[in-house]
């Protein structure tokens, strides 16, 4: 059995979740299977929406995502929420993937930034 178990502290219950996958191990719904999107909050419209991650090498299929993006004042959107092992940076205006770095394991989380002695870090 594959999935995620989590105790529900203070109760006699626990949680189990698993994605609905086909016998091939891929999601049952149509591609893309996960995206990252930008929304113009002033106009109330989606600006861009691009696949995030890949289950099939060489194809932008998207993957199930666990986490969200982090937008920076420098015009980049960072995310490591896909089920693959990459931290990615997207151009906040166009949605173009401008950088990615393979992590030793999947991040599956929302990145954070912080400052040390006035220098920003990701």
- What is Dmax (Cα atoms) for the chain? 52
Task: Give domain status of residue 11, yes or no.
Answer: no
Distance between CA 92 and CA 1 in Å, rounded?
A: 39
Task: Give domain status of residue 38, yes or no.
Answer: yes
Task: Give domain status of residue 72, yes or no.
Answer: yes
Q: Tell me, what's the pLDDT at 58? A: 82
Q: Tell me, what's the pLDDT at 95? A: 97
Q: In terms of C-beta density within 10 A (0-12 exposed, 13-18 middle, 19 or more buried), how is residue 36 classed?
A: buried
Q: Tell me, what's the pLDDT at 79? A: 95
The CATH number that applies at residue 109 is 2.40.128.630
Backbone φ and ψ for 67, nearest 5 degrees, come out as: 135, -175
Task: Give domain status of residue 94, yes or no.
Answer: yes
Residue 120 CA: distances (Å) to CA of 62, 73, 79: 29, 11, 17
Task: Give domain status of residue 80, yes or no.
Answer: yes
Give the contacts of 85 (CB within 8 A, at least 6 positions apart).
102, 103, 104, 105, 106, 107
Parent domain of 103: 29-113
Task: Give domain status of residue 122, yes or no.
Answer: no
Task: Give domain status of residue 13, yes or no.
Answer: no
pLDDT tens series, the chain, 122 aa:
577 888 899 999 999 888 888 898 888 888 999 999 999 999 999 999 999 998 888 888 999 888 899 999 899 999 999 988 999 999 999 999 999 999 998 888 889 888 788 777 66
Q: How many CB atoms lie within 10 A of CB 110?
A: 14
Task: Give domain status of residue 1, yes or no.
Answer: no
Provide the number of structural domains found in the chain. Answer: 1
Q: Tell me, what's the pLDDT at 1? A: 58
């Amino acid at each position: 059995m594959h999935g995620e178990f989590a105790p529900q502290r203070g109760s006699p219950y626990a949680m189990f979740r698993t994605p609905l996958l086909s016998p091939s191990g891929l999601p049952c719904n149509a591609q893309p299977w996960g995206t990252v999107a930008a929304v113009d909050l002033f106009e109330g419209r989606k600006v861009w929406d691009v696949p995030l991650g890949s289950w099939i090498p060489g194809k932008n299929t998207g993957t199930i995502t666990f986490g969200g993006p982090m937008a920076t004042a420098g015009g980049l959107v960072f995310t490591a929420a896909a089920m693959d092992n990459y931290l990615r940076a997207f151009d906040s205006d166009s949605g173009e993937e401008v950088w990615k770095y393979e992590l030793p394991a999947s991040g599956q989380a929302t990145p954070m930034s912080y400052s040390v002695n006035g220098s920003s870090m990701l």
